[in-house]
Structures are given as C-alpha cells and as structure tokens.
Amino acid sequence: VADAARPRRRAVTLADHLARLIALEGPITVARFMGEALLHPRHGYYQGRDPFGAAGDFVTAPEISQIFGELIGLWCAELWRLMGEPAALRLVELGPGRGTLMADALRAARLVPRFRNALSIHLVEASASLRARQQAVLAGTGASWHERFAEVPPGPLVLVANEFFDALPVRQFVKQADGWHERLVDRDPAGGLRFVLARDRLPEGDLLPAMSAVAPPGSVIEVSPARSALAGEIAARLAAEGGAALLVDYGPAASGIGDSLQAVRGHRRHDVLAEPGSADLTAHVDFQALAEAARGAGARAFGPLAQGDFLRRLGIERRAAALRARASPAQACDIDAALARLTDAAAMGTLFKALAIAAPALPPPPGFDDADSPKP
Ligand SMILES: C[S@@+](CC[C@H](N)C(=O)[O-])C[C@H]1O[C@@H](n2cnc3c(N)ncnc32)[C@H](O)[C@@H]1O
C-alpha cells in the first residue's frame, strides 16, 4: 500500500491513554489521574515544555527573586552550625524545577566556605526534561540526581522543597447521605472524561480526618497518603541521622474541608479534566497532616508559618535594602515588586507557608522557635 493511501493514525495523547486505562480497569482515583497527568513518562505535564515564567504556566518564589533561594541557602548554613558543623552534609532538594533555588542557595553558601565544602548536593527529580535543565544550571557543583527521596544515600541531611508537595497526588471523598464516597475519573459517554462517585461508601476507618464526622452532605475532603508517607519518610531519616527539612508550599495550616484541585495553564485556571497533561495540576497542601506524619515518625515539626512572616524573620527586608542600595531605579522597582509579591498577604505572603521538620535533638531551626512547635 502506498504511504499516501494508509489511514493516518491519530497521535496518542494522554487522554487516549487514560481512556484506555479506564476501559481496562474501570474509573480511576483522582490520585491516579493526577499522577498520570503530571508524570506519565511520555505525555505527563512535567515531561513537556518549560512550565515556568511569564511565557509558561506559573511563576514560583525562586523565579520571582534571587533573595528567596539565598535566604534558604543561609537557613541551611545556620542549620549546619546548629548541627555541630558536621564534616559531611547532604543538601537535598525535592522537585528543583529550573534549578534556580539551588543555584541561588549555593551562591549564598559561599559566604560560609566550611559549610559549602561539607556539602554533597542531591536533587530528586522525576521529569527527564527538567533534570536536563537542572544539570545545565548546576554543572560543576558535583550534584547527583535521584528519582526518589529513598535513593538519597544515608547521612546527616538538610532538605528543602518548594512547591513540591502540592504536585503529589490527593484522593478526594464526597459526603453523601449514607457516608463518604471516593471521587473517581471515568470516561464521559460524550467523549472526554468526567467525575463520578464510587458506588460503595468508604468503610469507617482512620483515612479521613476527625472533622469528617460533622461535615455536611456534599462536602469534599482531600487526603494525600502519598504526601503523608513522604513527610514520614523524611522525618524518620532526620530523626535517625540528624538534620532538618524546610517545606514551603500553599495550603491551610489546619486540615479542612473543600475541593482545592486545580489546573493552571498560561497563568489561568483550566478545566481539570480537559486535555490532561497540558496544564499543571495541584491541590492545596494540608500542613497539619504533614506535621502529624512527621511527629508520628519521631521528628519535631515547627509551624507552619506564613511565608511573609518566615521570610521577614530570615531578614528579607534587610537583604532587599542591600540589593536596592546598589541598584538602578528600574532595578530598585523590580526588587520592591518582588519583595511585595513574596511577602504581602494579598500575594504569596499568607497562603504560602513554611513548615520545618527537625531531628528531636536540634534547637528550633532559623525563623522558628519553640512556640512554633506545639506539643503533640
Ligand atoms: C511546581 S514545580 C516547583 C519547582 C521548584 N521547586 C520551584 O520552586 O521553582 C514541581 C517540581 O517537582 C517535580 N516533581 C513533581 N512531582 C514529582 C515527583 N513525584 N517526584 C519527583 N519530582 C517531582 C517537577 O518535575 C518539578 O521540578
């Protein structure tokens, strides 16, 4: 058959893949949908074009200002001091994006040469295309890359993760007259995908937080076993080997009710189920659940603090003033705008929060104090 006469096969998309998966296995959980949409090896969102910046889909704190990564680098250096200045320390970042935070942190770390010399850098990144980008930005730092946190070799560590946990999958449950039913993703008879509810209700148990008992019908509760498991894994490592972790993300300080699953494309909200893999997909981080998982694994948890308060405690205003002092008028305007964006309540200052997890023997990490670590 001549090529021209062959029927043309439609390119396989993530939507095709999901439709096939659902045909084989039945409706899938929201968590499975998120995992496929973000990290499918060929069609996942993070395998595609660069999602960051004005030309992409969203902007993260390290991309707004170098000060963010610099302050976190100094936070890590101070922790190293609190840990008794170990000769070897693993500096771990989960989901490094473009590698900007780590590059800025390492530049700041040069101010404390013995700290910088103690570091081995470990980056946990699931996306092959972002990993290549990070390798270019962090060339010459001796960094190594891992698919999972569990692959980071043993030893004392300081870990940072900015806007990482929001990308880990959540499950959703909806309250009906007879109890809680899991929300699933099914094929829509008209084509595309739709939400449905599992026929069987969730058996009574401890998967849902206590307030589920008093939630009115129609309520949605999100839980993320994946996030809690990872927070527990990190905490167990810190408790056993020493060190601390800083998790910065957006979401409520206390577990609550509500559907926060959102897709963002080109800086705008996008339909969660339309063209999966073409938009970022996140859900708010339940900091209470992370803190409980960390304490349950034997570490201390501090906060969360509002990002604005946390950055002010680390001295963001002084650092901005120092940069402004040697800036042109246009650059000074940019510095002020970035400072406002990172710290103002109307921007990222309140919705974004910082949670620290630390080995029990350590004093409170910089920015936090004992009052930020409630007794269980
Ligand atoms: C929203 S971006 C944040 C990037 C960066 N931390 C920043 O602040 O700019 C999420 C990052 O986490 C990575 N990622 C998402 N899910 C992951 C997973 N399950 N395992 C490893 N990396 C993951 C993405 O590829 C990306 O680098």
- Of 125, 134, 247, 248, best ligand 1 pocket probe by most atoms within 8 Å of the beta carbon: 125
| SS3 assignment, position 106 | helix
CA atoms of 346 and 249, how far apart (whole Å): 16
**Ligand 1: centre distance to CA 285 (Å):** 14
Q: In the block, which residue shows the tokens 């494309």?
A: 265
Among 338, 308, 333, 335, CA closest to 323: 335
Q: Which atom of ligand 1 is nearest to the CA of 61?
A: 8
Ligand 1 atom 4: the closest Cα is on which residue?
Answer: 97
**Residue 158, token pair as written in the block:** 């300081």
How distant is the alpha carbon of residue 16 from its chain centre? 28
Ligand 1 atom 5: the closest Cα is on which residue?
Answer: 97
Number of Cβ within a 10 Å radius of residue 338: 20
Asked whether 101 lines ligand 1 (CB < 6 A), one says yes
Asked whether 34 lines ligand 1 (CB < 6 A), one says no
Per-residue pLDDT of the chain (376 residues; tens, 9 = 90+): 444 455 445 558 999 999 999 999 999 999 999 999 999 988 999 987 788 888 888 899 999 999 999 999 999 999 999 999 999 999 999 999 999 999 999 999 999 999 999 999 999 999 999 999 999 999 999 999 999 999 999 999 999 999 999 999 999 999 999 999 999 999 999 889 999 999 999 987 778 988 898 999 999 999 999 999 999 999 999 999 999 999 999 999 999 999 999 999 999 999 999 999 999 999 999 999 999 999 999 999 999 999 999 999 999 999 999 999 999 999 999 999 999 999 999 999 999 999 999 999 999 999 999 888 876 5
CA atoms of 363 and 209, how far apart (whole Å): 30
**Ligand 1: centre distance to CA 167 (Å):** 7
Q: In the block, which residue shows the tokens 């084989």?
A: 24
Q: Longest Cα pair distance anywhere in the chain, in angstroms?
A: 76
Asked whether 62 lines ligand 1 (CB < 6 A), one says yes
**Ligand 1: centre distance to CA 132 (Å):** 13
Q: How high is the mean pLDDT of the chain?
A: 94
CA atoms of 160 and 220, how far apart (whole Å): 30
Q: Which atom of ligand 1 is nearest to the CA of 35?
A: 19
* pLDDT per position as a tens digit, 55-109: 888 899 999 999 999 999 999 999 999 999 999 999 999 999 999 999 999 999 9
Ligand 1 atom 14: the closest Cα is on which residue?
Answer: 95
Type of residue numbered 342:
L
Asked whether 65 lines ligand 1 (CB < 6 A), one says no
pLDDT at 1: 40
Ligand 1 atom 11: the closest Cα is on which residue?
Answer: 95
Q: Which atom of ligand 1 is nearest to the CA of 39?
A: 16
Ligand 1 atom 25: the closest Cα is on which residue?
Answer: 127
Rounded alpha-carbon distances, angstroms, from residue 211 to 9, 75, 153, 215, 284: 50, 35, 39, 6, 18
* pLDDT per position as a tens digit, 255-276: 999 999 999 999 999 999 999 9
SS3 content of the chain, % helix, strand, coil (to 5): 40, 20, 40
Among 190, 364, 206, CA closest to 274: 190
CA atoms of 168 and 87, how far apart (whole Å): 33
Asked whether 164 lines ligand 1 (CB < 6 A), one says yes
CA atoms of 256 and 161, how far apart (whole Å): 23
Among 49, 131, 47, 70, CA closest to 96: 131
**Ligand 1: centre distance to CA 282 (Å):** 11
Cα 309–Cα 311–Cα 317 angle in degrees, nearest 5: 105
Asked whether 125 lines ligand 1 (CB < 6 A), one says yes
Contact in structure between 80 and 155 (CB atoms under 8 Å): no
